[in-house]
Amino acid sequence: MIVVMKPDSRDTDIKNICSILESLGLGVHISKGTERTIIGVIGDKRLLKDIPIDLMPGVEKLVPIVEPYKLASKSFHPEPSIIDINGVKIGSREIVLMAGPCAVESHEQVMEAALAVKRSGAKFLRGGAFKPRTSPYSFQGLEEEGLKILKEARDAAGLLIISEVTSEKSLEIAEKYVDMVQVGARNAQNFQLLREIGRSKKPVLYKRGPSTTIEEWLNAAEYIMSEGNYNVVLCERGIRTFENATRNTLDISAVPVIKSLSHLPIIVDPSHATGKSQYVQPLSKAAIAAGADGLIIEVHPNPMCALSDASQQITPADFDILCRDISKIAPIVGREFIYGGKLN
């Protein structure tokens, strides 16, 4: 960290700050420029977290030098992490697809979706049991009943399952059924929930919040990781911008940026990013071409009859075509995806 002094700061101001820093066991390094004096702070900056250096007399601002997150940083762990979830390795050479309906509606719907996405090559079945909906008058999910349906489809189709948790209570329930929990964009800064997931050790798909910067996202991942849960996969799902031709703006650059800053795998959710099924295929291919480790896609046997987010769910037939294309793009970017799963 650098402390930048005001042009009119006095020597006593500088001395005062240095003695505070030194009393905390930090080193200091003073550099006088033509316009400003700066103080380099040497040592663990977390010692300073509750000392408002920026309010001290003569201080203009603080400039961080090292990124504030540690456990998610490449500096801490230069090799990419591979998250092994019951044998499926996210972040490995293999592209991992997660697919399934927005919401679990019925046994038949889920089973049909599961068999279809498995046939095309998906490794995970997704489906919402606890649904955070913008209107209180919309379908809110089947809750534990929905998880049981997912579990049955899991065993029948030979897929792993992932489902969103929205509170500590739903986490406690979901843990018993799913292979991986998902934290949705609306809970991206629900630190209480992140901490509980950290304690649970369950693999987690952690979505970016709609107004979260990449740095804040990695900082918040620290809530999960600092509790000992390193099985974190990031998911870019679009950010809020002024453009409203799509529900959100897919920040495709987040893929290579995360790869340069963090060792955690990153997948992309084109369904929530755009909110429109017609854009899911081009953006899925774009995400793989940009280096994503996988995709999570909403697939419904009959989107017309979906009880939630009908507009963004694609058909199994379209998903199948997409899988075939992804199996061709993957090797061009040094990856692999096996099109056409086998039913067990």
Interactions with its own copies, residue window 6-45 (CB under 8 A) = 7, 27, 29, 31-36, 38, 40-44
Tell me which residue of 319, 323, 318 sits closest to 336, measured CA to CA. 323
C-beta of 41 vs 125, nearer to its own copies? 41
Pairing of strands 37-42, 2-5: antiparallel
Binding mask 192-231 for its own copies (x = CB under 8 A): xx-x-------------xxx-xxxx--xx-xx--xx----
- C-alpha 202: how far from its chain's center? 15
C-beta of 23 vs 55, nearer to its own copies? 55
Phi then psi for 60, rounded to 5 degrees?
A: -90, -50
The order of strands in the sheet holding 2-5 is 27-32, 37-42, 2-5, 59-63
Torsion angle of the four alpha carbons 315, 321, 326, 329, in this order, in degrees rounded to the nearest 10:
-150
Neighbours of 179 (CB within 10 A): 21
C-beta of 33 vs 87, nearer to its own copies? 33
* Interface of this chain with its own copies, residues 149 to 178, rule: CB under 8 A: 166-170
CA distance 270 to 108: 25
C-beta of 34 vs 344, nearer to its own copies? 34
Cβ at position 274, least distance to its own copies in Å = 6
Neighbours of 185 (CB within 10 A): 21
CA distance 210 to 287: 18
* Interface of this chain with its own copies, residues 275 to 314, rule: CB under 8 A: 278-279, 282-283, 285-291, 303-304, 306-308, 310-311
Q: Does the footprint of its own copies cover residue 125 (CB under 8 A)?
A: no
The beta strand positions in 124-231, using DSSP E, are 124-126, 160-165, 180-183, 204-207
Q: Based on the number of CB atoms within 10 Å of its own CB, is 39 exposed (0-12), middle (13-18) or buried (19 or more)?
A: buried
Cβ at position 125, least distance to its own copies in Å = 22
Task: Please give the structure tokens belonging to residue 76.
Answer: 């801490």
Task: Please give the structure tokens belonging to residue 148.
Answer: 């049981």
* Interface of this chain with its own copies, residues 231 to 270, rule: CB under 8 A: 239-246, 249-257, 260-261
* Interface of this chain with its own copies, residues 58 to 87, rule: CB under 8 A: 63, 65-66, 68, 75
Number of residues that bind its own copies (CB under 8 A): 107
Figure out which of the listed residues 46, 79, 86, 342 binds its own copies, where binding follows CB under 8 A.
Answer: 46
Cβ at position 87, least distance to its own copies in Å = 28
Figure out which of the listed residues 148, 151, 186, 201 binds its own copies, where binding follows CB under 8 A.
Answer: 186
C-beta of 149 vs 280, nearer to its own copies? 280
Task: Please give the structure tokens belonging to residue 237.
Answer: 């799902």
Torsion angle of the four alpha carbons 320, 158, 83, 285, in this order, in degrees rounded to the nearest 10:
0
- C-alpha 207: how far from its chain's center? 3
C-beta of 245 vs 344, nearer to its own copies? 245
* Interface of this chain with its own copies, residues 126 to 145, rule: CB under 8 A: 132-139
Binding mask 84-103 for its own copies (x = CB under 8 A): --------------------
Cβ at position 160, least distance to its own copies in Å = 26
